[in-house]
Amino acid sequence: MALGVAGKGSINTIQAPAEKYTVPLMLMVSLYFGIGFITALNDILVPHFKDLFHLTNVTALLVQFCFFGAYFVMSVPSGWIVGKIGYKRGIVVALSVMGIGLLLFLPASVIIFYSLFLFALFVVGSGLALLQVAINPYVGALGTPETASSRLNLCGFANSFAGWRAPKIGAAFIFVAASASAAELAYSVRTPYMILSGLAFLMAIVTHFVHLPDLIEAREKDSVGDGSAWNFRHLRFGAIGIFVYVGAEVAIGSLMINFLGQPSMGGMSHAAAAEYVSLYWGGAMVGRLIGFFALKWISAPKALTFVSVLATLCITAAIFGHGSVALWAVVSCGLFNSVMWPCIFPMSVAGLGKFTSQGSGILVTMVVGGAVIPEIQGFLADSFGYQRSFAIILLCYVYILFFALRGHRNLNEVEVTSSLSPGVIQ
């Protein structure tokens, strides 16, 4: 069958029998779980390092800057790597790189050096960039294109389930007594990250031995001519959509603990506020489970429009509301964030044909929004207060609404259709 068409010719996929999709899909779901768990732990590291190293919001949020900045640096090279070594070997290499980065938390916790922690997070982020470039289009190919959003929502459910549990588990390990010494505060991060490092290497070994069918094969001589994924308007708009979506989601989770610790929000302790971070990611988990079923019947553009409108209303309430109203408005954003990635990603790569791998690399590069938007909000929080800082999140959701209504339209499709020969499969 054809994944999509971007010019003359078609892009071929090698489809395995349906029953052979079960094991690969289970593996992809488990990898999404790992991605969610590691990413959500950053929400615990930000306030922890803020206390340990006596940092401002801007410098504490370098945790997210280095982690998600790796996506910007490594995602396009990762698309090239996957194109050269294949999806399966790309996953194995990605997990190995992640394991090395997680292992670096050991020396960083011994010498108590913030820069080494940041470098470790950059290495972990680099591995995750390669992993996401490989698994996002692979999940999309494990069945019909029409149900790609549904499968991504299943994986997203696992991702969000991990994000729901990670803050609570991480807080139990990392948040120690307020009277703890610097050495004890640094030591507290060692156990969870050493466990995660071991699991990353274990998953690399498991992936090496699991049979993953070749689902995507670009036959350039029969496919699209010269060009680039950047030539597609909807991909460009989708890249910005990924940037602002990830930025908004990460910024909310990163600043929530410190936000809820403000006197106007009840002055919660880090451990108590971490419960609400868990609820924030738990909302995303519930939303993605709903999306897994709903997106079989509701189109991605309609679903994205619905959740972006509600997210916009919630963040507006967080800016102008007070106390419990602002608290639950912020927490509720997790529910409406839930289906944004599974909608934006396939909408952005639809019809890219042989440029699907390149387009995937571009989109994953835009995860750098998780580095940039939190830093902007951190600066605004330091300058104008936490509540007003959510204005940047409001702008992010307004853009996503634009993409859902107009930006996702593939204008290249009309040109392509008119240039195709009668025998081309669409």
- The predicted pLDDT at position 391 comes to 96
- The predicted pLDDT at position 14 comes to 43
Is 420 among the domain residues? no
Q: Which two tokens stand for residue 323?
A: 């106390």
Cα–Cα distance between 226 and 215 in angstroms, integer?
23
Is 2 among the domain residues? no
- The predicted pLDDT at position 375 comes to 94
What percent of the chain shows pLDDT beyond 90?
A: 46
Is 419 among the domain residues? no
- Give pLDDT tens digits for 306-315: 999 999 999 9
Comparing 163-167, 246-250, 376-380, which segment has the lowest mean pLDDT? 163-167
CA angle 338/395/73 to nearest 5° reads 70
User: How far is residue 126 CA from its own chain's centroid?
Assistant: 13
Asked if 101 and 126 count as a contact pair (C-beta separation under 8 A), the reply is: yes
Q: What is the arithmetic mean of pLDDT over 306-326?
A: 93
Q: Taking 50 as the threshold, does the pLDDT of residue 16 lie above it?
A: no
Closest CA to 6 of 356, 360, 242: 356
Comparing 193-207, 264-278, 293-307, 405-419, which segment has the lowest mean pLDDT? 405-419
Asked if 365 and 243 count as a contact pair (C-beta separation under 8 A), the reply is: no
Is 330 among the domain residues? yes
- List the domain range (segments joined by +) for residue 216: 18-220+227-409
Q: Taking 70 as the threshold, does the pLDDT of residue 104 lie above it?
A: yes
Is 387 among the domain residues? yes
Task: Kindly report the CATH number assigned to the domain that includes residue 43.
Answer: 1.20.1250.20
Is 22 among the domain residues? yes
Residues in a beta bridge with 12? 2, 217
Asked if 374 and 57 count as a contact pair (C-beta separation under 8 A), the reply is: no
Is 51 among the domain residues? yes
What percent of the chain shows pLDDT beyond 70?
A: 85
Banded pLDDT at 15 (limits 50, 70, 90): very low
Banded pLDDT at 215 (limits 50, 70, 90): low
Banded pLDDT at 407 (limits 50, 70, 90): confident
Is 253 among the domain residues? yes
User: At 8, is the secondary structure helix, strand, or coil?
Assistant: coil
Asked if 235 and 42 count as a contact pair (C-beta separation under 8 A), the reply is: no
Banded pLDDT at 148 (limits 50, 70, 90): low
Please give the residue that has the higher pLDDT: either 364 or 148: 364
The total number of structural domains that make up the chain: 1
